[in-house]
Amino acid sequence: MLVRIRSKEGTVRVEVNPTDDVVVLGQKIAAILNIADPVSIMISDQPQVAGARRIFDFGGKSLASIGVQHGDLLFVTIDTSSSEELESTPTLPAVAIEDHTSIISPPMAPVMVDAVDEYLEKQSGLIKRGRDPKFCKHTVNGMCDYCMPMEPYDSRYLEQNKIKHMSFHAYLRQLNAAQKGKDAQAAGSAKAVAPLEEPNYKVKVPCKGRHAPWPEGICTNCQPSAVTLQSQPFRLVDYIEFSAASLIDNFIHYWRSTGCQRFGYLYGRYEPYTEVPLGIKAVVEAIYEPPQQTALDGVALAPQYFGSEEEARIDAVALACGLRRVGCIFTDLIDDGTLRGTVVTKRHVDSYFLSSLECCFAAEMQRRHPNTTSTSYSTSGKFGSKFVTCVLSGNEEGHVDVAGYQVSNTCVAMVDAGIVEPSVKPSVMRVKEAVAGVRYVPEVFYKYKNKYGVNVQESAKPTFPVDYLLVNVSHGFPQTAKPLFTASTPFPIENRIGLDTQDFDALRRYLTVPDFANAVSDFHLLCFVMGMGVLGKLEFETLVRVAMSKDPTEVAKLVELGGWKTLQMVMQESVKAAPQSHLGHTSAVSSPPMSRTGSTASSAAGSAGRAAPELISCRHCTLLNPGTNVNCEICSLPLRD
């Protein structure tokens, strides 16, 4: 039988007999891995060093007696005990241990797996089929090949339903079935799926080879293998569901008002997706816009936001609401100048869907948000990512549409290893040149069909199409919208300098509505209130319960809390500190914030009690300009012919 041995040198196979003594296995491992002292070899069925035992402690027992079977994976480490202890250990112990000892170490510490993964892992995933009237000749209670349930990874079902990427759990079932077939054919027993391993294209440091460490030396053991690019057969998220259309409308309101692009993080949760066998969907409930510099052709995120207290605070607010960061979204919109509300179609089959720069950004985001999985599938407890990337751009009809993507695990590994970089041509990715002693770049290949229909393998240097790195994710909206946050009028959105303002006076004006519980049901309001630091932890949790449940009992508890009374007092003080010109207009105090679908200038004029001036929409960037302007304030192009 074959036993797989995994160490720092890699994974090797050792051929032994079930009746062989465990010492025989230790001697073969020492010979293959060039270990000078076989006594120092320690083995375990788990990657933790703490649970490993010396292999020679099992001397006198056969491999079958301690539970080693064909295809098992054992982890090998070197004992770091003192030399005196090693010398006192016999080289070939011949004394059998009286009690029946197994090499199975205590189970690995549990990994916090997503609830949706735990649920899908318990499902059968079989696709039920009805009785075929043509071919089924059996009784009603019978079953044949034409009506028996199909596996979730069945190629015919995927092709008929035009599913390009199977779900992740269907992919696991496929691997598990293949492994069971191999084990049953070889030894008549079925074993669990082999551990998943994420690709790694970095030079292995340190290396046990007899050479100087990288960058002074390199060998076949420590250098990464060649990369053959191919479409990833699975995806970890199968569908993106926006809980309400107002999420997109509020997000692109910034572009409609300024003509500049915008970026935001998606906050939501993961749920089972029944349209795909064992599928997962990301339900988006809120979009948070971090600090950024916007322009007509892109955005630049503030680097100090990553790892900052603000980022941790927003994640804490989302966690209190039962949400997490599930992806990101950005706009790429240009008005086509027809004055019909349509935009330029930039992304299509003849250009690109996700540029090489955006692929690198998506890969970095997925690396920072790994997917936790069961240790029975991955020894590290991590594999891939559920983080999605959405683009708001023009479709073929010129309408604003959402497109969802992920990048493959290969792309994430290549970006992490620093062997690829964006190209000036958005549809291709550039492979970096190797630099002796600084950067090692493995061979990269990709396959395609030539004009004769023959599969051809070609080197990916210097560039290759980004299509090999993309994983498409469909999107949509629910038939009956039931959003988590139900505020009818949105609270001013954060970090929109010159467009929206978040302060205590804006909060006071926003809360002067009859339906208080519905008004506080806004993610941006909760983030602002927590950032002020007025409410304590328990008081903020009460506010979150009011926003989620709208329970009058919780509202009564909130208004009696000391922190909320302090917040009300601060809001009243903000009125006294406001300029005198604003205090003379009653409508400015009692009017709610502007609607995202209305005009900014007209709403501001209405709140001040003045007649709205004439506005002209720029045909180039759609900005609303005062009627007295000759050129647009944003793009400086003429407003009239």
- Report the pLDDT averaged over residues 43-52: 74
Q: In the numeric block, which tokens belong to residue 496?
A: 């929109």
Q: In the numeric block, which tokens belong to residue 609?
A: 């009690």
What pLDDT is stored for residue 242 in this prediction? 96
- Max mean pLDDT among 41-55, 123-137, 288-302 falls in 288-302
Indicate whether 299 pLDDT > 70.
Answer: yes
- Report the pLDDT averaged over residues 28-56: 77
- Report the pLDDT averaged over residues 214-242: 90
- Report the pLDDT averaged over residues 253-274: 95
* 248: phi then psi, degrees, rounded to nearest 5: -70, -40
- The residues spanned by each domain of the chain are 2-78, 234-476, 504-576
Q: Single out the residue of 561, 562, 575, 576 nearest to residue 511, CA to CA.
A: 575
Tens digits of residue pLDDT in 150-204: 889 998 899 988 899 999 999 999 888 887 765 554 544 444 445 688 899 998 8
C-alpha 497/C-alpha 306 separation (Å) is 20
pTM to 2 decimal places: 0.73
C-alpha 104/C-alpha 51 separation (Å) is 9
Indicate whether 320 pLDDT > 90.
Answer: yes
Indicate whether 90 pLDDT > 90.
Answer: no
Q: pLDDT grade, residue 88 (50/70/90)?
A: very low
C-alpha 216/C-alpha 241 separation (Å) is 51
**Gyration radius (Cα) of the chain, Å:** 31
Q: Single out the residue of 527, 557, 525, 528 nearest to residue 542, CA to CA.
A: 557
What is the share, in percent, of the chain residues with pLDDT greater than 90? 43
Q: 284 has which bridge partners?
A: 242, 268
User: For the chain, how long is the longest CA-to-CA vector?
Assistant: 100
Indicate whether 95 pLDDT > 50.
Answer: no
CATH of 2-78, one of 3.30.70.100, 3.10.20.90, 1.10.357.10, 3.40.50.10860: 3.10.20.90
Q: pLDDT grade, residue 485 (50/70/90)?
A: very high
Task: Check if 2-78 and 234-476 are the same fold.
Answer: no
Tens digits of residue pLDDT in 575-623: 766 554 333 333 333 333 434 544 333 333 333 333 444 677 777 667 7
Indicate whether 566 pLDDT > 80.
Answer: yes
- Report the pLDDT averaged over residues 552-574: 89
C-alpha 76/C-alpha 6 separation (Å) is 6
392 near 400, Cβ under 8 Å?
yes
Tens digits of residue pLDDT in 389-413: 999 999 999 999 999 999 999 999 9
298 near 414, Cβ under 8 Å?
no
Tens digits of residue pLDDT in 423-470: 999 999 999 998 888 889 999 999 888 888 888 889 999 999 999 999
Q: Single out the residue of 110, 115, 177 nearest to residue 150, CA to CA.
A: 177
Residue type for 369, please?
H
- Report the pLDDT averaged over residues 544-569: 91
Distances from the Cα of 123 to the Cαs of 119, 274, 276, in angstroms? 7, 12, 13
Bigger pLDDT: 248 vs 373: 248
C-alpha 625/C-alpha 238 separation (Å) is 42
Pairing, β 279-288 against β 239-242: parallel
Per CATH, the architecture of 234-476 is what? Answer: 3-Layer(aba) Sandwich (3.40)
What is the share, in percent, of the chain residues with pLDDT greater than 70? 85
Mean pLDDT over all residues of the chain? 82
Degrees, nearest 5: CA angle 73-74-76: 145
